[in-house]
Amino acid sequence: MTDWHFPPGFIWGTATASYQIEGAVHEDGRGVSIWDTFSHTPGKTLNGDTGDVACDHYHRWPEDIAIMQALNLNGYRFSIAWPRIFPQGRGAVNQKGLDFYSRLVDGLLAAGITPFVTLYHWDLPQALQDEGGGWARRGIVDDFVNYADVVSRALGDRVKYWTTFNEIFVFATQGYLTGEMAPGAPILDLDTFLAAGHHALLAHGRAVPVLRANVPGAQVGIVHYTQAIEAASDAPEDVAAAQRLDGFMNRWYLDPIYKGEYPADMLNGLYAYFRPPIQPGDLDAIRAPLDFQGVNFYERSIVGEGSDLPFINIRYVRPEGEYTAMGWHVYPPGLYDMLTRIQRDYAPKAIYVTENGAAFADEIAPDGSVHDEQRVAYLRGYFQQAARAISDGVPLKGYFVWSLLDNFEWAHGYDKRFGVVYVDYPTQRRIIKDSGYFLAQVAAGTAK
Ligand code: FCB
C-alpha cells in the first residue's frame, strides 16, 4: 500500500544525458566530445564500450517520447550536447544541432511533457579540452556563457526550466583528480581539480543572468551530486572524517552558490596548501540567485577516519543490507535526510530530485517482460521518503527517475542498466520494465 501524498502539479519524469543515449556521433555536423575521445581510448571503459550508437535516441526520439507519454510522465530532463551546437566549442553555430533539440522540445510539448534542459552533462567539445585543458582554463567561462546564450535564445520561447551543470563534483573529481572519467588526466593534481571546479561554478553563475535575459519566465537552477554522510561513531576523529567528506562532496559546491564562500574548514584543512583560482568578483557571480536546486541522490555512506580514501583519510563502514549493481547501499531515509538538510542549510526556493534510481541485473523473462521487482521496491522506498520530506515542509516540486532507458553508464559502458525501460541493444527494441509500469501508476496517482 502507498502511504504517500504528492501535491497536484507535481512533476514526474525521467532523466537522461546526451552522450549516454543519443548515439549519432558523426551526424549533422556534431563535433568530437571528450567522451568520444575517452571512450575510444583503450582501457578506459568496460569492454571498450562507446556512445557511438548508445540508444540511438537521436533517431528514435519520437518513439521515446511516446513511451514517456505511455508512462503518464509530465516532465523530462535531458541535456544538450555542446559539440552538436558548437562543433569546435565556439565560433560558428551548427544550426542542425539546434534543430534537433528544437524538434525534441516541440515533440515533448505536444505530448504534454515539460522539458527541463541541462546545458552541461559532461560532453565537452574536445577542441576546448585541447585548448588549455578544458575546465582548467579560465577562458572557458566565456565559452560556456556564449553556448548558454545561443541555446537559450533558440529554445527559450518554449523551454522554461534550465539547469546549467550536472554534478560539478563528479566531473571535477573523476575527470580531473582520479581520471576515471573524461578527460581522464592529469591524475591527482589538486590545483587543476580545484581550478576545474571553480571555473565551472563561475560559468554557472555568469550564465544565470543570460538565461534570465533570454527566457521569459525562466526557472533557473543547477544540479548537484549529493551524498548523505554519517560518522561511524561519536569519536572526534570520526566526526571530523565525516565532515571532511561532506565538505569534499557536498558543501564545496553548495556553499559558494548559496553563501558566496567556500567552506572555511576545507580551506583551512584538506585544501590548506591549495587554492581555487578566485579572482575579485567571482564569488559574487557564483552566488546568483536561483529558482530551484536539483538534487541527484544515490548514496549514503558511513565513514570514520582511515585510509580507504587516502587523500581524504576516511574509511567506509559497509552496513548490512541491500546493494545495487553499482555497489551502492539501498537506504531510502538518506534521501529524506538530504532533502531536509538542504532545505535547512540553504533554503532554496524549490527543490527537484533531478536523479535517483538504481542499476540491477535485469533480464528479459520468457514471457518477454522485464520483472525488475528490486527496482520497483527501490523506487517505492525513495518515493515514500520524498513524500515524507514534502509533508515536513520541503518545497519538493518534482522527481526525475534515472533513467528513462538503459544507457551508456560512462566508464561502466552498457553493463549497468538503470532504465525503467529495457534496451535490447542489438535490435534497439525498448521494453517497459515493471518499474516503468509502476512509475506510470505513481505519476497517475493510482499506485497501490
Ligand atoms: C549520475 C550521473 C548520471 C548517471 C548516474 C547513474 O552521477 O549524473 O549521468 O551516470 O549517476
Per-residue pLDDT of the chain (448 residues; tens, 9 = 90+): 677 889 999 999 999 999 999 999 999 999 999 999 999 999 999 999 999 999 999 999 999 999 999 999 999 999 999 999 999 999 999 999 999 999 999 999 999 999 999 999 999 999 999 999 999 999 999 999 999 999 999 999 999 999 999 999 999 999 999 999 999 977 778 999 999 999 999 999 999 999 999 999 999 999 999 999 999 999 999 999 999 999 999 999 999 999 999 999 999 999 999 999 999 999 999 999 999 999 999 999 999 999 998 789 999 999 999 999 999 999 999 999 999 999 999 999 999 999 999 999 999 999 999 999 999 999 999 999 999 999 999 999 999 999 999 999 999 999 999 999 999 999 999 999 999 999 999 999 999 8
CA distance 279 to 410: 33
CA distance 190 to 168: 15
Kindly calculate the radius of gyration of the chain based on its CA atoms and give it in whole angstroms: 21
CATH architecture label of 11-444: Alpha-Beta Barrel (3.20)
Q: Residue 279: in which H helix or E strand, if any?
A: none
Q: Give the mutation target among 18, 35, 409, 414 for probing the ligand 1 site: most ligand atoms within 8 A of CB.
A: 409
Answering whether pTM is above 0.95, one says: yes
Closest ligand 1 atom to the C-alpha of 225? 7
User: What letter represents residue 442's amino acid?
Assistant: V
- Return the C-alpha cell found at 332: 531510502
Within 13 Å and on the Cβ side, how many CA atoms surround 192? 21
- Return the C-alpha cell found at 177: 583528480
For 208-235, the pLDDT digits (tens) are 999 999 999 999 999 999 999 999 999 9
For 131-183, the pLDDT digits (tens) are 999 999 999 999 999 999 999 999 999 999 999 999 999 999 999 999 999 99
234 CB-near residues (< 8 Å, 6+ apart): none
> To the nearest 5 percent, what fractions of the chain are helix, strand and coil?
40, 20, 40
320 CB-near residues (< 8 Å, 6+ apart): none
Q: Give the mutation target among 402, 404, 412, 417 for probing the ligand 1 site: most ligand atoms within 8 A of CB.
A: 402
296 C-beta closer than 6 A to ligand 1: yes
* CB-CB contact of 296 with 337 (8 Å): no
Is residue 131 flagged as an active site residue?
Answer: no
| Protein residue whose Cα sits closest to atom 9 of ligand 1 | 17
Domains of the chain by residue range: 11-444
Q: Residue 66: in which H helix or E strand, if any?
A: helix 57-70
Closest ligand 1 atom to the C-alpha of 223? 8
Report the helix count and the strand count for the chain, using DSSP H and E. Answer: 17, 11
Is residue 355 flagged as an active site residue?
Answer: yes
CA distance 421 to 430: 6
DSSP label at 337?
H
* CB-CB contact of 107 with 40 (8 Å): no
For 184-212, the pLDDT digits (tens) are 977 778 999 999 999 999 999 999 999 99
CA distance 141 to 129: 13
